[in-house]
Amino acid sequence: MIEKKDLHYVAALARLKLREEDEEKVREKFSMVLDYVGMLNQLDIEDVEPLISINDVTNVMREDEIKESMDRETLLANAPDKMYGCIKVSKVIE
Amino acid sequence: MDLYNLTLHEIRDKIRSGEISAKEVLDSVYKRIEAVDGKIDAYLTLSKENAYEAAEAIDKRIAQGEKLGDLAGIPMAVKDNISTKGVKTTCASKILENYIPPFDAHVYEKLKEAGAILIGKTNLDEFAMGSSTENSAFKITRNPWDLERVPGGSSGGSAAAVAADEAFFSLGSDTGGSIRQPASLCGVVGFKPTYGAVSRYGLVAFGSSFDQIGPFTKDVEDCAIVLNYLYGHDERDSTSLQVEHGDFTQALNKDIKGMKIGLPKEYFEEGIDPEVKRLVLDGVKILEGLGAHVEEISLPYSKYALPVYYIAASAEASSNLARFDGVRYGYRAKEYSNLEDLYINSRSEGFGDEVKLRIMLGTYTLSSGYYDAYYNKALKVRRLIKQEFDKAFEKYDILISPTSPTTAFKIGERLDDQLAMYMSDICTVPINIAGIPAISIPCGLSNGLPVGMQIMSRALGEASIIKAAHAFERNTDFSKNKPTL
């Protein structure tokens, strides 16, 4: 079973927090899945290269041309809080 | 027979001949939705106003003598993780409950251009994570064949809509089986393209190296028609293939004499319901009767597909879902005392349990100290699984297996059994790992519930799949089975 502190550490890395009442259940589920995927340790695959690219398409580039993006109003339409044509958030720098 | 009962190509022919108008077709579909969607709940959003506007425009163009394409005036449903400009796109998540995309997904752009009409957006497991549509934050969708059972997932809404004649075709997305498995459980045709064949631009990303968009249709001919409009290079998706794909309808009505079919024995072993196995093998016999050569083969690495998937796809998901932070769009928590809390509270309140679990799993396997033990290892096994398929396709044109180990399970049955839920995808996941194409087609009923046959081929081997699937459909009656609602 994953340690409680490790579970909370992982949650914090993912910017998530667990409710106290859910903690045990999540811990169990998480551990069960982790144990299951640990099945891969049965294999001796030292010399196998990890597969990164599924098809042969790599390093796709475009010319560095200035193109139309999207207007400010459209971009801000879904913003939860805005002011002065910007998205408003809490203080970032102390 | 009502218009909504017909197939895409039948409606297309009637519109072309002037027998019916696009408006009449829409009327029929919305009438059907009114009659049955209260029971099925396939749709999250209906876009009636836009739909009728589009239908009017199509009817005008036809009246002016314009010759339009296959999809002109055809009403379609789109899974709610595919961006539709101006129409709410929620991914069945509280975190995007009121999100309206300012742009269209590539596929939606193309289908609109072709004249297809959006009926509405369909329900899914939240962020496409699930195999039953029970993880939707808003509601469950019921299987039209038995309302106490799941339609499968994650594209349950799209599958149910086509199965219940609430749409002539629909779009879903498939990361580990999310088109094929619900197609199997709902008795319709579902197709996952070769990775890279259909642009993912506008598809809300889950597992970027696994995701593909594909159609649900009532028969194989309709499937081939829709694929023609979905496939094609898109420079906005940097994993998009630059390949001439040709006309998939050319693969219809073809002879399959001499076609080499492999049956990977690992896909017929434990965990597969004996009735499902029997119906799929009966189906294979039919193909054999049509002249195909069938041989049993072995794909031992397929046994490791689910662990590879749950490590790699979750890792990709943890990265892809980092953008949902309450800042620029989506749900922002009401209470927070600093920036970090803004992120933590918005995400913790906005995401459902399964999504949070997978994000954490992905984060864990990518973290320092565990990266080699889990993620890197998963990528190595991914290579082995893919190589095994590549080798098999040197000898065989297609491989066949059941799509799902069982027929539709009861709502709530697997919610407490994490691994049992994941096992629903045991036959479909290896296909996404290898990036190859596959279809699920109906091959019979077991206790009144649909069973699906999965046909897979090499990357860009779509024609072989359609050839075999259509030959099977022409020589059987399974596509005519409909649920009673």
Tens digits of residue pLDDT in B368-382: 899 999 999 999 999
User: Is B85 among the catalytic positions?
Assistant: no
Active-site pick, B83, B170, B173, B178: B178
> CB–CB of A45 and B351 under 8 A?
no
> CB–CB of B196 and A57 under 8 A?
yes
Per residue in A32-80, pLDDT (tens digit) is 999 999 999 999 999 999 999 898 888 999 899 998 889 999 999 999 9
Residue B13: domain span: 3-256+438-480
- The 3 state secondary structure assigned to chain B is CCHHHCCHHHHHHHHHCCCCCHHHHHHHHHHHHHHHHHHHCCEEEECHHHHHHHHHHHHHHHHCCCCCCCCCCCEEEEECCECECCECCCCCCHHHCCCCCCCCCHHHHHHHHCCCEEEEEECCCHHHCCCCCCCCCCCCCCECCECCECCCCCCHHHHHHHHCCCCCEEEEEECCCCCHHHHHHHCCEEEECCCCCECCCCECCCCCCCCEEEEEECCHHHHHHHHHHHECCCCCCCCCCCCCCCCHHHHCCCCCCCCEEEEEHHHHCCCCCHHHHHHHHHHHHHHHHCCCEEEEECCHHHHHHHHHHHHHHHHHHHHHHHHCCCCCCCCCCCCCCCHHHHHHHHHHHHCCHHHHHHHHHHHHHHCCCCCHHHHHHHHHHHHHHHHHHHHHHHHCCEEEEECCCCCCCECCCCCCCHHHHHHHHCCCHHHHHHCCCEEEEEEEEECCEEEEEEEECCCCCHHHHHHHHHHHHHCCCHHHCCCCC
How confident is the model at residue B71, as a pLDDT? 98
The answer as to whether B72 is a domain residue is yes
Separation between Cα atoms, residue B148 and residue B165, nearest integer Å: 19
**Chain position carrying tokens 């072709």:** B114
The answer as to whether A93 is a domain residue is no
The answer as to whether A10 is a domain residue is yes
The answer as to whether B273 is a domain residue is no
The answer as to whether B383 is a domain residue is no
Q: In this complex, which of A11, A33, A79 lies closest to B329 when CB atoms are compared?
A: A79
Q: In this complex, which of A7, A40, A55 lies closest to B381 when CB atoms are compared?
A: A40
User: Is B257 among the catalytic positions?
Assistant: no
User: Is B79 among the catalytic positions?
Assistant: yes
Residue A8 parent element (H or E): helix A4-13
The answer as to whether B460 is a domain residue is yes
Q: Which residues of B touch A45 (CB under 8 A)?
A: 377, 380-381, 384
The answer as to whether B321 is a domain residue is no
Nearest residue in A to B196, CA atom:
A55
Low-confidence ranges of chain B (pLDDT < 50): none
> CB–CB of B367 and A78 under 8 A?
no
ipTM greater than cut 0.90: yes
Overall average pLDDT of the A5-22 stretch: 96
**How many folded domains does chain A comprise?**
1
The answer as to whether A67 is a domain residue is no
The answer as to whether A58 is a domain residue is no
Q: Which residues of A touch B364 (CB under 8 A)?
A: 10, 34
**How many folded domains does chain B comprise?**
1
Active-site pick, B47, B79, B184, B467: B79
How confident is the model at residue B83, as a pLDDT? 98
Q: Which residues of B touch A52 (CB under 8 A)?
A: 379
CATH classification of the domain holding B14: 3.90.1300.10
Chain B residues 174-203 within an 8 A CB cutoff of chain A:
194-196
How confident is the model at residue A94, as a pLDDT? 80
Per residue in B27-73, pLDDT (tens digit) is 999 999 999 999 999 999 999 999 999 999 999 999 999 999 999 99
Residue A28: domain span: 4-42
- Intra-chain end-to-end CA distance of chain A, in Å: 39
The answer as to whether B264 is a domain residue is no
Q: In this complex, which of A36, A48, A89 lies closest to B339 when CB atoms are compared?
A: A89
Candidates A3, A18, A40: best to mutate against B (most CBs of B within 10 A) is A40
The answer as to whether A51 is a domain residue is no
Chain A: closest CA distance from residue B236 (Å): 10
The answer as to whether B276 is a domain residue is no
